[in-house]
Structures are given as structure tokens and as C-alpha cells.
Amino acid sequence: MFNIKLSRRKLIKSSAIAGAATLTGSLGNIRFAEAKPVSETEQVFAGVCRNNCQSLCRLNAFVRNGRLVRTEMAPSVPASELHNPHPKDTRFNSICLRGLSTVHRVYGTNRLHYPVKQTKKRGDMSGFVRISWEQAIKEIGEKFSKLLKTPDGGRTIGVMLNSGNAGRLQGQTGAIAAFRSIIKGNNMWHGLDGAIQVGFSKVCGYKAFYTVGNEPADMINAKTIFLWGSNMAEAHRMTWNLVQQAKEKGSKIISVDTSYNITSSKVDKLIAVKPGSDTMVALAMMNHIIYKKPEWLDKPFMCENSVAPFLVRSDTKNFLRGKDLVNGKAGNTNYVAYNTKQKNLEEAKWVDIKPGANMYGGPKAVLSGGANYELEKEMQVEIQERDASGAVTGKKTVTVTPAFGLLKKHVKKYTPEYAEAYTGLSPAVTREMTEQFAAPKNKPVSVYVSYGAGQYYNSHHTSHALCSLGAITGTYQKPGACVGSYFIDGNFAVHNNFARPAGVRVPHLPALYVRDALEKDNHPMRGLIIANANPVNCYTNQKKDWIDYILPKMDVVVTLDMERTDTTDYSDYILPVAGWYEVDDIITGRKHPFVMLQEKAIEPEGESKSDMECIRLIVDELDKHMPDLKGGQYFRKTDGTVKTDWDYIKESINPVMGLSADKLKQEKTMRYIPRDKELVFAENGYYSTPSGRLEFYCEDPTFVARLFPYGQAETMTEEAKDLERLPGWEEPSEAWFGPTERKELEALRKKYPLQAYYEHNRWRVHSQWAFVPWLRELDPEPKVKISPEDAVKYGNIKDGDYVKVSNDRGFAIMKAVISSSLPQGILNLDRGWHRSQYTTKFGNGGSSQELTNPAYHDSNMNQSYFDALVKIEKV
Amino acid sequence: MLVDTERCTGCHTCAFGCKSENNLPNNVWWNKTITGTPGKPDENRKMDEPEGKFVSKGGIVIDKDKNIMPLTLEYYTKACQHCSNPVCVEACPTGATYVRADGIVEVDSEKCIGCDSCIDACPYDVRHHNTEGQQYGGNFPVGGMGIKPHTPETVDKCNFCAHRVDRGGEPFCVTNCPAKARYFGDINNPKSEVAQILKKRKYVLLRPEAGTKPSVYFLV
């Protein structure tokens, strides 16, 4: 019957490698239903997985014998008196294979245990030697204080912080941000996913830079959901659950993307656009609505909540204000609209809108006449002219147009027919998707705009255009309706005032501008301190800008990290920081409506110290060299004792909605949006724009220069300004297959015919989890996906072949995967692999980050990862 | 156990969680996430590779309402099927593989002689022969409480996390599925959630022709 292979098993030599049967005692405070006391000791701590996949999954950390043994999805959010409408709210429960692999990162071979100093040339692995904390702090203090004592002061040191850790104390807005404030070091805006936010905040308010959006769970209320540039089912696992719920309820899910992915397999419709053409899609949608389907416009909403009725002067391109009108008083900033019922100009009144729960408040320009305003026609208005001092010098007649009229004129040429060559969408498809977005029968509609649409040189126009679509169709302030990134603003619940001592202003030096600043502006920056960040791995043009140019210009590079990364490899000093489960912390925001607690579950590994302690030690050392700095006070209580993490937690929690540190300690997770329904963005009608309204017309085209100034406002041309006022059309920098008049792009396309696109897959988040062995069993080496047609075309590439992907900036050796998920012309490259993980079979393996394009737009300062052309060949 | 393939996004969390909870040796996966359609013999499909061809009609690649689906991508997971007619039990010469009162097919490591008869008999390729010196992810025991040691020269497999079930809980992969795509319960109890769902939803079984009567149902 069976071919029985009889063999005696060997005696078990040791039980140490498996199971834990020898532990005794009673069970800890476990909230799992299934947990019944057994004869083992296990403690459970509340925790949060807090990289920047945005999900911030709550999980429980289990500890035996002082060591973390596993993590699990945390159970439902407990009912609390915070008016949680879902007493057992499981909607935000999530976890993924990364959250479950925490143990591997805590105890991994890649973990840093001791302070280390580079004794040879930067980047030479043999030059690293272990040093004591005392020596490390002393030497860093000497080097930094030497720079800080020069006349350039804080401008000599760049402080790089990214989204590696969302903890409010140890993460990007915590200790390292406090350091930047104390030394007045350079604010090095990272430009990561920046462009999309720029467009959002232009239209929806600068305070909502990251946080335009209803509570993600509100998507369940939508009849139609657009996922724009989002592989949500893979990359935003938690948020996808909410969309899945909407889907099961009958909502239509439409994905706008460039290729096929896991999300595509789950949606009702996948619309594939040409890479970088998203703005044109939105412009054509606006054209169709305004010219062919005006009944889809929401005129009352526009008049009440957008700048649509406000008149814009044709001469200055500014809004007409009360001070401009004949006999208008100096300083009268009132916006002006034409009331069609009263047949006269009406000045909007400034009304102070009260902040709501998790909603900003402030002055809003309010009109009294409902929807009775001229929205389209230009008209002549007699105004008084003023000189620079504000004194009236005379009168003149100017043409003024309602902002909506300008938008209408602006989108006139972008018909679905015109757009086709740019977007790749047939006019019928554009019209159909417009109907899906704007027709009343399909409303309410949620447009979840993600960063896939934000990786191009022109991406800020995309979000500007999409929000404009939302503004003219009334797709805001209602349940189930929003166009945004669906982040929740955690700053209402938790502030980081300890990290931003009042009144401190720091100089700006955006990371993308560093090379130009050093090369052209003779910028004095010579030192870097990096925490929660891996810029050498993650920033565009890795090799030529960062490794070969910027880092060699630095006198000292200090990196705080818990693991070895490309950035620690190129540092002079590496300070080992405690892991996420080795500290107390609080976490809020992103896609969660909760304040969540991280309880310290285990002691810091090796000699690692919390970020907060590392920074305090450096600051105390700097205080010795520079008594005027007085930095140590920020880490101490009034009696001089050093603050504990719990002290920071206590002072950081805003006492809104009954939140307090004590209650958090008890409940671990607290909802801070006190509603019997989901949070709706700006439901109080206030947007933190100059007018308090949705501003699809942006009066100040130097908007971005106010956020990340490096002198770009001063050199901005009129042509560039015009592109910023209304959602402008600009081509991507390189990855553009549509019509162009740029001869140099045509030449580049011939040399490098393929777009390099970088998916966000489930094996890592950015560069984190790169060295987790079990993940590498599933995803063993850097790969590039190529369409079957392109594989044949570019040298008959076969599955599993090593290929070289290259352009003028660099190259990467990767394993080819032939995949029908891609249309021709697009390569899908892995990112986040460290340089040491590329194959050396053919010599240097390069890195896919060498290929990325550092071209920045003065008006978005964005790292445009997908905006690069490459070629591919077999090795 | 029910696995809702409509909800499953192939995220591998259940497979990874199984490894983590049961402290599995390196390169051993009791539960695997497979790219493909349950019931179709396509297990050699490349991970994450859709079936079909990328075709865009004026920008439309997928339109389910119009039945335009040139590409499909499905996932399912595969571990021990805890069959009601388990051929592995039949094949086991020592009685090491047995069916518990609650229906879980379990291996008694004390009785197992590592002869691999069960591996040969099982039509699902879900059993693993532990070897001497197999490597683990960490240098100390991790995972759940009360898990089975992986005794060298014995055969191991998914046991529906019997250590959790015995404490009144559910398998790790069920409680930790972020897609809420997994259900666990007593199918013979008509009031149970699983029985209720099975009444309403279509499902497929893996290799029903093998006559094993699997206890894992894939909702489609």
C-alpha cells in the first residue's frame, strides 16, 4: 500500500529551540477572549506598529522572561465614555506580516547594540569600532559645538527626520524635532509625498497639509469610492478593510492607476491612465462637468464654501477687496462678489467660525445671499488705486471675473477629446468616470487620493485639480463625501510643544535643495544628524547626489537608529536607539481616530537608549560647550530632574474629550472624535485658507515658498505663477509618454524608453523590514517586473534573468519577473532594499534608488520617485 | 474553518502569523498563501501574477459591470485541511496522527517515527518532516504559549492552533486575519457563525475528488 520509510527519530537534545514549556506562574493581564490561565507566565503590553504605512496598527506585545516573544492584532477598541458609537469598534483592527515580525527586528542580526564610530573612510565597513556612550557623546558634542559656534550657527547642521517612527516622543515629531529647535538647525523638508499635500493644502487649507479627509471609516458611507493612485489592498491594509465593508454594502469602487495590482483585482473598475497624466484627467473631468453637465455643479455649495463667487482682478490677479472699491477704507480685506438678486457688489463679512471637534476654526469670508451670485461673467468695476504705502492715488476701471469664471475659462480647452492624447483615456471613458464622480445618483462620492499619484514633478497640480473638482461639485462637508488623503489630524489630541519651544524659528533647507545649496549658494551646512530616517536609502539620486556629493561635503554625520541601514553605513557615529517596544510613547493620527499608547514592554536591547535620552545627552554636552544654549532645560522639570517619558506623555495630551494620560494608561486606546457618526472634514465649513473657503483659485502663487522657503519665491516667473493659481497642466519631468514640445525629452525617451515605477509592496515599508529573515523567505531578492511584450522587445528577457536597469544617474542589478500586471513601457521596481542586499555576482549591484530623479519643482519640493526613465538589459 | 476568498487579499499575514505563533523553523510554512483560485490546479503560479493579459480599452482595464476582466488575480491559503476522512490517519503506522474529539487532526510527536507515510498519503502537501539541526529565526523560543515543540525526525503540520483552541480561543490565523476573511467554529452546530455563513455562500473544497472530506471551506 504505502511505501513506508521506517526511521527512528533521534532523541530531543534540547527543548530550547522550540516551544516554551518550562515557564511557570500565572497569566498576565490578557484581554483576549481565548486566553485562559495556563501554567506559563506571559505579560501583555499595548503597542502600536508605527512605521509610515499609515495604518498604525494597534497590537499587543507578549513578553516572557523579559523578552518579546510575539505580537498579535489588538482586540476591539474598548468602549469608553468618549461617546464611541461603536462600543466594540473592530473597524480599525488590523495587522500584517510586518507587524507580526516585530520580534525579528528587536532581536535581529541587523539590530544595533552599541555606539559605533567610523575610524576609516566613510562607508568602509571595516572602519567601524565600538565606543562607549561617554566617548560618543563627548566627540559628537565637540564636533557639533565647533560648527554651531561659527557665525552660521544652526545653519551648519542639518537635522534629518522622516517617518521611520510615528511615536510622538521618540519619533519624527519628538526628540529629534526638539533637537532641531534647540540648536536652530536646518529644517530639511524631506519632500516625501510632498506634492500631493501641497495641492491639498492650497485648496483646503495649510493647516490640513497632511489631513484633508474624512475619517477613513466614513468611506463606508460613500456610494462611490475612487481610489486614485492607491494600491490600498496591499499598501494600506487597514484602510482597505473599510473600503471592503463599503463594497459589501454595495458601493462602487473605482481605481485610477497606471497598472494592475492586488487592489485592481478587488475593484469594480480599473481605469489605467498614462503615468503622470492625472492632472489632465481631472482637468478634462472639470471641462465635461462645466461645459456639458452644469447640472452636476453644486452652486449653493460653491457660493457658500468656495472662492467661486469672489471677483478676481485681471490686472493684479488678486481677489478684489473692500479696500479696492471706491471709498473703500485702507485695510478692508473683505472679498467681493456680485449679488445677482440685489444686482450689486457685496462685500463678504468676516465671521469667526468656531473650531469643531477635530476641526479648525477661524475667520471665514461669508456672503449673505445664498446661491444668488454671479459665478461666470466678467465685469468692469471702478476701483481706487493705492500706492505702496496704501494711500489712494486715483481711480481706474478694471475687469474682474468670479474665480469660478476663471476656472471655467481655464479648463475650456481641456475637453475629453483634447485630453485623450495625454491621458490615454478615450473621451467616452473620461465622460463615464466623470458621471461616476459627479452625477447625483452616484453620490456621495469619496475620492481617496494616494501617493501613487504624487510621485511626479507635476503632482501638486493633480491634487489641486482633484480638490477643485470636489469644490465645484460640493464633494465636501458631507458624510461619505470628500476628496483627500483621508488622514486624521492627531494634533487636536496630542501636541508636541516640548519639541517646539515657543517662538523658535529654524532655518529651512529642503533636502532636495541641499545639493544646489552647497554647489551654488555656498551653503555652510557641514554636519548632519539623522533620526527615524534612512535618507541614503530612500532619497532620489542616491549615488550621485547623496553618496558621491552631499555626504563627502559633511564634516560629521551622526545617525540614530535601531538597525543598520544604508544611512548608518555612511555615518561617522551611530547611536543605537531603543526599539518601539522598549519605550513608552503615544501615537495618534494618520488613518486612526485614536490616541494610542505604547507601553514599554521590554528593556532596551544592548546599550541602546531611547531617542529622547540620546538627544538629551547630546544637548547636555552641547550646553557644556555653549552655556547660552540652555538646551538641557527642555528635558527637565522645573525642579531640575530629568523628565520621564510619562512626563512628556502627560504634558502632551490635550485635555479634549476627557483625554488624559491616566485614562490612556487604563484604556490604552481612546477615540477622540466625539461623534455619533464619523468625522467629516471641515464640517463646520471652515478651511484654513486665507478666505476660510475652498480655494481652487490660489491668490498667492508662492504658496509653497511660504512652507519650504529657499529663495524660490523671489525668482518665480509670471508664467510659473500663472501655473499655480488655477490647477495648471505641466508635463512630468522624464516619465512622460504624452505630447511634448521638449526636444530633450524626445531624445531621452529614445535612450531610456521605460518608466521606472516603484510599487509599495507588503514585504516592507520604505526601507524598513529589509532584514527580517522570514520576510526574505517570501521575497528573497530585489526584483523588477516587466511586461511580457517589453521582455521580448528588450533582449528576450526571461523570468529569473538578472537584468541591469540603468540611466545616466546609475544602475541596479535585479531579478526579472515577467508580469502581465504591467502595460508596455512601465517597469515596476522594488525599492527599499539596502545596497548590501543587491547581488554581487556581477560586481557592484547598484541600487534601484540610484535611478530616481532628483528634479524638484519650485512649487512642490517633491521627491518624484516615479518620474524617471530607464533602460533594461540582460546582464 | 472558512476562508473568504472575496475578502482575502493574499497578504500572507495568516501564513506569517502561523509561523510566528508556532515558532516554525526557517523555510517551513505550515500555512501558505497561494496565488490562484482554490480548486484549480495552478499551484505553480508565480506569486502575485495575475492571469490573463493587460488590455486597456480606451483606459478601461477592468469593468466588472460590463464583464470586462482581461486580468484576474486571486489568492487562497493552504494548510492542513483537517479532513473528516483523513487519509493521513489511515496511513500512519503508529497511530501518531489521530483525530481529536473536536475534529482537529493532530500528530502525537511521542508516537511519530518520522516515516513520512502521512506526507506521501496527504493529497495537499501540507506536512513537514522536522530535521535535526533545523534553524529558527531567533535564538530563544518565541511564539504562543503551550505550542508544540518541533521534534526532529517527526512530522508536523497545522493543528488549528490546538493550544489556543484548548484555551477556548481560535487559531492565530483567524484572530489575526486583517481582512477578517477567516472563520472558525463548529460546523455541526447549525447556530454557529460558520454554519450560518455556509448556508448563504458558495464554497469550494480542495481536491474533493480525493474523498478526504476537508474541513476547510473556501468561500467564493
- The DSSP line for A447-478 is EEE-GGGGSSTTHHHHHHHHHHHHHHTT-SSB
* Cis preceding-peptide flag for A701 (omega within 30 of 0): no
CB B106 within 8 A of CB B100: yes
Choose the closest CB to B60 out of A17, A267, A429: A429
E runs forming strands in chain B: 2-4, 32-35, 51-52, 60-63, 71-72, 75-78, 97-99, 105-107, 128-129, 155-156, 182-183, 203-204, 217-219
**How far is it, in rounded angstroms, from Cα A595 to Cα A586?**
7
Question: pLDDT category, A14, cuts 50, 70, 90?
Answer: very low
**How far is it, in rounded angstroms, from Cα A687 to Cα A360?**
7
DSSP codes, B24-84: PPTT--SSEEEES-TTSS-TTPPTTPPEE----BTTEEEEGGGTB-SEE--EEEES----S
Give the list of residues 6+ apart from residue A325 with CB closer than 8 angstroms, or none.
A332, A336, A345, A347, A381, A383, A384
What mean pLDDT is predicted for residues A717-724?
95
Question: Inter-chain contact B115–A104, Cβ cutoff 8 Å?
Answer: no
Question: Inter-chain contact A2–B144, Cβ cutoff 8 Å?
Answer: no
pLDDT above 60 (res A33): no
Q: How does DSSP classify residue A692? A: S
**What pLDDT shows up at residue B140?**
83
Q: How far is B172 from chain A (nearest CA, A)?
A: 8
**How far is it, in rounded angstroms, from Cα A52 to Cα A31?**
27
Give the list of residues 6+ apart from residue B136 with CB closer than 8 angstroms, or none.
A17, A18, B23, B25, B26
Q: Which residue of B has its CA nearest to A60?
A: B176
Q: How far is A678 from chain B (nearest CA, A)?
A: 21
**How far is it, in rounded angstroms, from Cα A567 to Cα A531?**
10
What mean pLDDT is predicted for residues A717-730?
96
Question: Inter-chain contact B149–A817, Cβ cutoff 8 Å?
Answer: no
Choose the closest CB to B149 out of A18, A260, A428: A18
Question: pLDDT category, A8, cuts 50, 70, 90?
Answer: very low
Residue A95, C-alpha cell as written in the block: 495587522
CB A375 within 8 A of CB A405: yes
Distances (CA, A) of A739 to A262, A278, A849: 30, 14, 27
**How far is it, in rounded angstroms, from Cα A324 to Cα A396?**
10
Stated pTM of the model = 0.94
pLDDT above 90 (res A571): yes
Choose the closest CB to A10 out of B7, B51, B153: B153
Question: pLDDT category, A675, cuts 50, 70, 90?
Answer: low
ipTM of the complex: 0.97
Q: Is A100 helix (H, G, I), strand (E, B) or coil?
A: helix
Residue A652, C-alpha cell as written in the block: 502632551
Question: pLDDT category, A25, cuts 50, 70, 90?
Answer: very low
**How far is it, in rounded angstroms, from Cα A793 to Cα A592?**
46
Q: Which residues partner with A815 through β-bridges? A: A783, A802
Q: Which residue of A has its CA nearest to B136?
A: A17
**How far is it, in rounded angstroms, from Cα A805 to Cα A846?**
9
Of A274 and A92, more confident: A274
Distance, first Cα to last Cα, chain B? 14
**pLDDT, tens digit, 9 for 90 and up, residues B89-141:** 999 999 999 999 999 999 999 999 999 999 999 999 999 999 998 988 777 88
**What pLDDT shows up at residue B137?**
78
**pLDDT, tens digit, 9 for 90 and up, residues B186-201:** 999 999 999 999 999 9
**What pLDDT shows up at residue A659?**
87
**How far is it, in rounded angstroms, from Cα A339 to Cα A811?**
61
pLDDT above 70 (res A458): yes
What mean pLDDT is predicted for residues A231-249?
95
Q: How far is B75 from chain A (nearest CA, A)?
A: 10
Question: Inter-chain contact B56–A73, Cβ cutoff 8 Å?
Answer: no
**What pLDDT shows up at residue A80?**
58
Q: How does DSSP classify residue A376? A: S
pLDDT above 50 (res B167): yes
Question: Inter-chain contact B50–A425, Cβ cutoff 8 Å?
Answer: no
**What pLDDT shows up at residue A37?**
37
Residue A433, C-alpha cell as written in the block: 468616470
E runs forming strands in A244-389: 252-257, 269-272, 311-313, 336-339, 344-347, 349-353, 362-366, 379-386
| Contact residues on chain B for A15, CB-CB shorter than 8 A | 149
What mean pLDDT is predicted for residues A832-838?
97
**What pLDDT shows up at residue A12?**
31
Question: Inter-chain contact B20–A70, Cβ cutoff 8 Å?
Answer: yes
**How far is it, in rounded angstroms, from Cα A816 to Cα A773?**
22
Give the list of residues 6+ apart from residue A602 with CB closer than 8 angstroms, or none.
A61, A63, A66, A67, A68, A106, A581, A582
- Using only the alpha carbons of chain A, give its radius of gyration: 28
**How far is it, in rounded angstroms, from Cα A518 to Cα A525?**
8
Question: Inter-chain contact B71–A259, Cβ cutoff 8 Å?
Answer: no
pLDDT above 70 (res A632): yes
- Mean pLDDT, chain B, rounded, equals 95
Give the length of chain B.
220
**How far is it, in rounded angstroms, from Cα A314 to Cα A371?**
24
Question: pLDDT category, A52, cuts 50, 70, 90?
Answer: confident
**pLDDT, tens digit, 9 for 90 and up, residues A112-144:** 999 999 999 999 999 999 999 999 999 999 999
| Contact residues on chain A for B56, CB-CB shorter than 8 A | 272, 424, 823
Q: Which residue has the cell 521506517?
A: A6
**What pLDDT shows up at residue B138?**
73
What mean pLDDT is predicted for residues A803-819?
98
Across the A/B interface, how many CB contacts are shorter than 8 Å?
Answer: 246
Give the length of chain A.
875
For the beta sheet containing B182-183, the strands, ordered from the edge strand earlier in sequence to the opposite edge, are: B182-183, B2-4, B217-219, B203-204
CB A194 within 8 A of CB A860: yes
- Best of B4, B8, B13 to substitute, by most chain A Cβ atoms within 10 angstroms, is B13
Q: How far is B102 from chain A (nearest CA, A)?
A: 16
pLDDT above 80 (res A626): yes
Question: Inter-chain contact B115–A6, Cβ cutoff 8 Å?
Answer: yes
**What pLDDT shows up at residue A476?**
98
**pLDDT, tens digit, 9 for 90 and up, residues A573-618:** 999 999 999 999 999 989 988 999 999 999 999 999 999 999 999 9
**pLDDT, tens digit, 9 for 90 and up, residues A645-657:** 999 999 999 988 7
| Contact residues on chain B for A819, CB-CB shorter than 8 A | 46, 48-50
Determine which helix (DSSP H) or strand (DSSP E) holds A443, and give its type and residue range. none
Dihedral-angle region of residue A180 (phi above 0 means left; psi in -120 to 50 means alpha; beta otherwise): alpha
What mean pLDDT is predicted for residues A220-249?
96
**What pLDDT shows up at residue A24?**
23
E runs forming strands in A504-624: 527-531, 556-561, 573-576, 585-588, 594-598
Written as one letter, the residue type at A538 is C
Q: How does DSSP classify residue B111? A: T
